[in-house]
């Protein structure tokens, strides 16, 4: 049963709706802030409304956090404070900051507390006055259209010193409330700025302005962002890193430089009207008015000898007319003949619109009159503007004020008038205006300019300082390394495969191949004509491919990328813009160079590339590169260029270099060095199916077979396209950009070659190949084959009984279309229970029991063992080697179960960033690398269990009293139905707490929170194993403890030991945890951590801690 209630969002502890449905009566008595309820006899003792409501609140918070992490565009960039937590923080501020009246202009807006990184710092009164935001349509990552509220735009008025000081004080309160900078330190910085501002200055210098103060504040926070890259969260001891950094800003010369007085600017002497209009030059003023350069060069003049201004009609056709005569002959015809687009803007009440010369213009021009209010385009006031223009597209600017928002007042504003603030166009108006103008010009035949994404533009400072923490990696929770997602496969495909009888499946595939084999024979002559019509180099690359058959097959079956085969026939471009591939997710990665820019310095750039093509220093490697290049010449993929002068002066040359991967050498073409990769605009996102997708596909297939009551035993085979990129040709227009400089070890100099197949090293090649690879995968899905695609690597899975037919069906599909695949290499075997692909081993031997195992290959383990042993023996490792080793270790660790190895990377990461002299390894690095070797050799493979479906919820909390140095821990285990399974409460006396605390530590709440998690997992680990339930969501309300558990390490020695113990317990008992934060007021484990009885935590569900708490910490 789903329950929905309407209540005030600021009410966080109201359980009345839940009590009403569950037949509870609320008692008026409360005990230390924890509501108590009397239970009706009709309800059991553990299925309580508070338990359900708290679980509902925790789940809602977790879902919101997941949504924000997976789709940042759908949620604000920062976490919103829950109402109860917000109220508690503000109340705590009022108690601490005695004498400061936090209300009115000093009460910080809720939105500023939630989004304090935006540093809007508006007041609560301003926020209340702001009306409900408007709705807008948004398309999420899944392609669904949703109606969402637009983020309210609120501006903070800082025209006066008082308004600025109040805004900065609100910012200090907000940062104090969220625990970043204490209010005392924040106000000390603000007061120091205003003290400097009010100091008298030396003669000849101007008073320090408000603009200088704001600029200094911006620079200070920018400087703080550089100095706080190690983290801004308070430590376990409560030390705030930003406090110490902000204190140093007053002594930082690069910051306080902007508070130095500037030279005073003296205003020029006032002039009379005649002096301003004509000057004192008499007749020499004739023709000296301001004119555009083009008109002045054409002999046009601004005024006649009597001082009367000439109208533009005179300058266009030479007639002797003046502005005040009211005539403008042929102006309209001349404007049209010159193809001039124009616009003229004035306030809608301006007397300009009533002048005789404007009326004269209207006799010959028929402009569009557009009226709009600035406030509808981001302005602060309802300034009404009239625009006369010849551009019809600008009609979209017409927007009258709807009075659905607040306006700033007119009149006196600070030291000036409010009209001065409205002189500039609002940013939103400028943006829309330019977009409409570009659309209009493009329709007229103009070329659209290259647009850069936001991340390519420098960030501008706002009027008040901002301090944000950006992400360099996808916004996914770090504790979930492997997300089971199906990129190309959909559950209906898997279900259809499981639901069909094997005989029906074989019959369907037989009919499919009989039909398309007949079509291939019918198209033989047309295919031959098509291939003969192609240029020699393209005909050689596309040899054997049934292009017309593939096009007909994709069209008839409904594939969305309808231009794929046509692009394959004509070849793929390396510059310009990639074609829109409807079958791939759309994206926009703009080019940084146009083709003209690419060719501008071609000669010097090409000579530099040829000069830099040198030996690698390894004669064997040079010889292997040259041999492979000569093989490509023999296959028609390359051709030597004899006329080197033509190659240098026309087009661009790229350098080829060898890359040793495992036991083979790969030829890489460096199209980034030649800037060709900077000249391509990517419009389609490259998607691949990694090991996670392969495992998830296997698990979903097992579930589908289980639902049909069939055997879940699976087999698989890896299939690799042969010379994958070399099966695609380059377009004729891009051949001049596909020239390679290759070192010849025989002549010891660089030689130039023309490349005809798409290169391994060009951005355009990746998009082109993935389009073809996804099309082949899609065709396989149409005959119910379970196929994943990772570039040129395919994984074909099938139930054991139908595995032979599935293997033959996929190879027949590739043979029918003429795509070459590896028939003799390591991936040419038949269907089996264990296959090697993508650097891992997919083990399906336990698929009959519902499990899929993924582990590192034996070769990868041996390579890591040899490499790490070599570094340990040498006792040193340089920076490039450290970076490479850390990447390989990270990938290998991803195929192991558990999180124990994650903490081992910390020492290696520190070694990478600290650059010790000579790259010497310290004891910490040695121990971590040695321990990693043990785990990589003996660690259990990663398992995906299709059987585990139920998720349990674990609430943990801790309590600590600094006055008595005593505390307690509590935990509640809840099933997915909201029922309390078990709970415990354990009190800690002074001696217990002293065992946990260090000698000088006065606050140990973070350590106790982590101890509570460890105690709870140890308490119920055997229960999880007995119930065979692996998935658990653990809620705790301490961010410091949660962060240490997620990372598996901490600078605090005790927290580090606890985190390691938790990781090991998860590993040993095969528990899949998810650690989420929950507001303290919603934490069901809060009462037991304080030793407070709670009606919903009944005695028969209470358990005592089985393990010795301090033995776990030993």
Residue 412: strand pairing partners: 417
Residue 754: strand pairing partners: 639, 739
For every residue of 697-742, DSSP letters joined together read HHHHHHHHHHHTT----EEEEEEEBTTSGGGSBBPGGGGGG-EEEE
pLDDT at 309: 62
Nearest to 794 by CA among 775, 768, 816, 766: 775
Nearest to 731 by CA among 504, 538, 1003, 450: 538
R_g of the chain computed on alpha carbons:
36
For β-strands 576-577 and 680-684, DSSP reports them as parallel
Nearest to 578 by CA among 594, 593, 589, 566: 589
Contact 796, 786 (CB under 8 A): yes
* N-to-C CA span, the chain: 47
Q: How many CB atoms lie within 10 A of CB 453?
A: 10
Contact 902, 893 (CB under 8 A): yes
Cα–Cα distance, 707 to 973 (Å, whole number): 30
Q: Identify the residue whose tokens are 């109201």.
A: 14
- Quick one: three-class SS letters along 499-527? HCCHHHHHHHHHHHHHHHHHHHHHCHHHH
Beta carbons within 8 Å of 949's beta carbon, 6+ residues apart: none
* Joined tokens for residue 624: 């292997």
Residue extent(s) of CATH 3.30.420.10 domains in the chain: 944-1112
pLDDT at 156: 67
Q: How many CB atoms lie within 10 A of CB 487?
A: 19
pLDDT at 305: 57
386 DSSP 8-state letter: E
Cα–Cα distance, 738 to 655 (Å, whole number): 10
- Quick one: three-class SS letters along 827-859? CCCCCECEEEECCEEEECCCHHHCEEEEEECHH
* CATH label, 944-1112, candidates 3.40.50.150, 3.40.50.300, 3.30.420.10, 3.60.40.10: 3.30.420.10
Report the chain (1114 residues): mean pLDDT per 10 consecutive residues.
37 40 33 35 44 64 62 49 68 73 71 55 50 53 55 64 86 85 90 88 82 88 82 77 89 85 60 38 42 59 61 46 39 51 84 81 80 83 86 82 76 65 78 83 66 34 29 32 39 71 92 95 95 94 95 94 94 93 89 88 89 90 93 94 88 92 84 92 90 87 89 92 92 94 93 94 94 95 92 91 92 95 78 87 89 86 88 88 84 76 75 78 86 81 75 92 91 90 92 80 88 91 72 90 87 86 84 87 91 89 77 56
Q: Identify the residue whose tokens are 């508690």.
A: 88
The pairs formed by 904-913 with CB atoms below 8 angstroms and a separation of 24 or more are 904/928, 904/929, 904/931, 904/932, 904/935, 906/1047, 906/1049, 908/882, 911/877, 911/882, 912/879, 912/882, 912/883, 912/886
pLDDT at 922: 86
Whole-model pTM: value is: 0.57
Q: In what order do the strands lie in the sheet with 576-577?
A: 576-577, 680-684, 586-589
How would you class 520 by CB atoms within 10 Å of its CB: exposed for 0-12, middle for 13-18, buried for 19 or more? buried
**What beta strand segments (E) does 333-454 contain?**
343-347, 368-373, 384-389, 412-413, 416-417
Contact 633, 753 (CB under 8 A): yes
Beta carbons within 8 Å of 500's beta carbon, 6+ residues apart: 508, 784
For every residue of 394-428, DSSP letters joined together read GGGG-----S-S--PPPSEETTEEHHHHTSSPPHH
Q: How many CB atoms lie within 10 A of CB 587?
A: 12
Report the half-sphere exposure of 1035 (CA within 13 A, side-chain side).
Answer: 28
* Joined tokens for residue 864: 């890591």
Cα–Cα distance, 369 to 362 (Å, whole number): 11
Cα–Cα distance, 284 to 296 (Å, whole number): 16
Q: How many CB atoms lie within 10 A of CB 581?
A: 24
């Amino acid at each position: 049963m789903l329950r929905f209630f309407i209540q005030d969002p600021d009410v966080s502890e109201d359980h009345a709706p839940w009590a009403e449905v569950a037949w509870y009566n609320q008692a008026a008595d409360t005990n230390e802030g924890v509501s108590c309820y009397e239970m009706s006899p009709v309800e059991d003792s553990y299925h309580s409304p508070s338990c359900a409501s708290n679980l509902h609140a925790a789940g809602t918070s977790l879902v919101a956090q997941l949504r924000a992490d997976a789709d940042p565009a759908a949620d604000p960039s920062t976490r919103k404070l829950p109402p109860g937590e917000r109220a508690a923080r503000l109340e705590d501020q009022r108690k601490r900051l005695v004498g400061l009246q936090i209300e009115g202009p000093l009460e910080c807006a809720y939105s500023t507390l939630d989004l304090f990184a935006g540093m809007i710092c508006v007041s609560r009164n301003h926020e209340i006055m702001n009306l409900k935001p408007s709705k807008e349509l948004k398309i999420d990552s899944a392609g669904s259209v949703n109606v969402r509220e637009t983020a309210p735009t609120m501006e903070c008025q800082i025209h006066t010193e008082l308004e600025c000081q109040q805004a900065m004080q609100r910012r200090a309160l907000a940062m104090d409330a969220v625990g970043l900078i204490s209010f005392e330190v924040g106000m000390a910085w603000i007061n120091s700025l205003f003290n400097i501002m009010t100091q008298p200055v030396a003669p000849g210098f101007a008073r320090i302005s408000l603009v200088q103060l704001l600029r200094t504040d911006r620079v200070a926070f920018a400087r703080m962002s550089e100095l706080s890259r190690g983290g801004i969260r308070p430590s376990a001891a409560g030390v705030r890193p930003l406090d110490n950094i902000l204190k140093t800003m007053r002594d930082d010369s690069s910051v306080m430089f902007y508070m130095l007085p500037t030279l005073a600017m003296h205003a020029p002497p006032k002039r009379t009207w005649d002096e301003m209009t004509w000057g004192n030059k008499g007749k020499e003023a004739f023709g000296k008015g301001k004119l555009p350069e083009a008109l002045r060069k054409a002999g046009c003049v601004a005024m006649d000898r009597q001082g009367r201004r000439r109208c533009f009609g005179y300058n266009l056709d030479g007639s002797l007319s003046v502005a005040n005569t009211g005539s403008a002959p042929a102006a309209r015809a001349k404007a049209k003949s010159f193809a001039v687009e124009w616009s003229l803007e004035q306030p809608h009440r301006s007397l300009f619109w009533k002048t005789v010369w404007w009326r004269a213009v209207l006799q010959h021009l028929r402009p569009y009159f557009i009226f709009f209010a600035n406030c509808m385009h981001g302005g602060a006031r309802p300034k009404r503007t009239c625009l006369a223009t010849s551009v019809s597209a600008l009609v979209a600017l017409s927007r009258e004020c709807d009075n659905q928002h607040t306006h700033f007042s007119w009149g006196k504003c600070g030291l000036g008038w409010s009209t001065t603030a409205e002189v500039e166009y609002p940013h939103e108006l400028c943006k829309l205006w330019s977009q409409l103008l570009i659309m209009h010009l493009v329709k007229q035949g103009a070329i659209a300019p290259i647009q850069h994404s936001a991340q390519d533009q420098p960030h501008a400072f706002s009027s008040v300082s901002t301090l944000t923490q950006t992400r360099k990696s996808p916004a996914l929770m770090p504790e979930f390394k492997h997300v089971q997602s199906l990129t190309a496969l959909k559950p209906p495909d898997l279900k259809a495969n499981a639901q069909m009888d094997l005989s029906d499946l074989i019959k369907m595939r037989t009919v499919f191949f009989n039909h398309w084999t007949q079509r291939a024979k019918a198209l033989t002559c047309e295919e031959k004509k098509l291939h003969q019509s192609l240029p020699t180099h393209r005909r050689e690359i596309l040899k054997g491919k049934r292009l017309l058959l593939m096009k007909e097959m994709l069209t008839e079956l409904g594939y969305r990328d309808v231009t794929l085969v046509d692009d394959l026939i004509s070849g793929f471009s390396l510059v310009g813009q990639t074609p829109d591939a409807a079958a791939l997710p759309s994206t926009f990665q703009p080019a940084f160079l146009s083709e003209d820019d690419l060719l501008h310095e071609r000669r010097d750039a090409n000579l530099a590339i040829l000069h830099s093509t040198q030996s690698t220093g390894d004669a064997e490697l040079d010889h292997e590169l040259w041999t492979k290049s000569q093989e490509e010449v023999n296959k028609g993929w390359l051709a030597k260029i004899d006329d080197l002068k033509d190659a240098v002066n026309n087009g661009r040359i790229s350098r080829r270099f060898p890359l040793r991967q495992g036991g083979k050498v790969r030829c890489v073409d460096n199209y980034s060095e030649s800037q060709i990769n900077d000249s391509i605009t990517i419009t389609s996102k490259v998607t691949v199916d990694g090991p996670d997708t392969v495992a998830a596909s296997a698990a979903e297939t097992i579930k589908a077979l289980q639902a049909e009551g069939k055997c879940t035993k699976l087999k698989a085979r890896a299939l690799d396209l042969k010379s994958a990129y070399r099966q695609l040709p380059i377009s004729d227009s891009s051949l001049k950009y596909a020239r390679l400089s290759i070192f010849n070890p025989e002549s010891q100099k660089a030689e130039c070659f023309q490349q005809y197949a798409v290169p391994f090293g060009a951005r355009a090649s990746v998009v082109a190949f993935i389009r073809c690879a996804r099309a082949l995968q899609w065709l396989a899905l149409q005959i119910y084959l379970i196929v994943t695609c990772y570039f040129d690597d395919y994984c074909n899975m099938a139930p054991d009984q139908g595995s032979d037919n599935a293997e033959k069906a996929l190879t027949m599909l590739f043979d029918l279309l003429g795509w070459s695949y590896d028939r003799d290499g390591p991936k040419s075997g038949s269907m089996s229970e264990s296959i090697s692909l993508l650097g891992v081993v997919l083990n399906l031997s336990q698929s009959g029991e519902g499990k899929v195992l993924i582990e590192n290959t034996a070769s990868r383990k041996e390579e890591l063992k040899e490499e790490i042993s070599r570094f340990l023996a040498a006792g040193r490792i340089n920076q490039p080697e450290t970076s490479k080793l850390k990447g390989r270790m990270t990938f290998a660790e991803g195929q192991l179960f558990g999180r124990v190895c994650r903490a081992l990377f910390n020492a290696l990461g520190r070694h990478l960033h600290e650059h010790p002299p000579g790259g010497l390894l310290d004891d910490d690095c040695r121990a971590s690398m040695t321990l990693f070797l043990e785990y990589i050799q003996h660690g259990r493979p990663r398992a995906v269990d299709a059987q585990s479906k139920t998720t349990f919820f674990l609430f943990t909390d801790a309590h600590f009293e600094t006055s008595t140095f005593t505390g307690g821990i509590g935990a509640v285990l809840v099933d997915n139905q909201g029922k309390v399974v078990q709970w415990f409460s354990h009190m800690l006396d002074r001696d217990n707490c002293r065992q946990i605390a260090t000698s000088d530590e006065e606050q140990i709440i973070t350590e106790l929170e982590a101890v509570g998690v460890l105690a709870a997992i140890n308490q119920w680990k055997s229960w999880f194993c007995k119930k065979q339930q692996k998935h658990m969501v653990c809620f705790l309300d301490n961010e410091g403890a949660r962060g240490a558990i997620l990372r598996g390490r901490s600078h605090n020695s005790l927290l580090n030991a606890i985190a390691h113990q938790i990781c090991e317990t998860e590993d040993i008992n095969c528990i899949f945890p998810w650690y989420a934060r929950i507001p303290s007021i919603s934490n069901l484990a809060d009462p037991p951590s304080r030793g407070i009885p709670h009606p919903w935590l009944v005695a028969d569900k209470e358990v005592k801690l089985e393990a010795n708490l301090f033995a776990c910490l030993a």
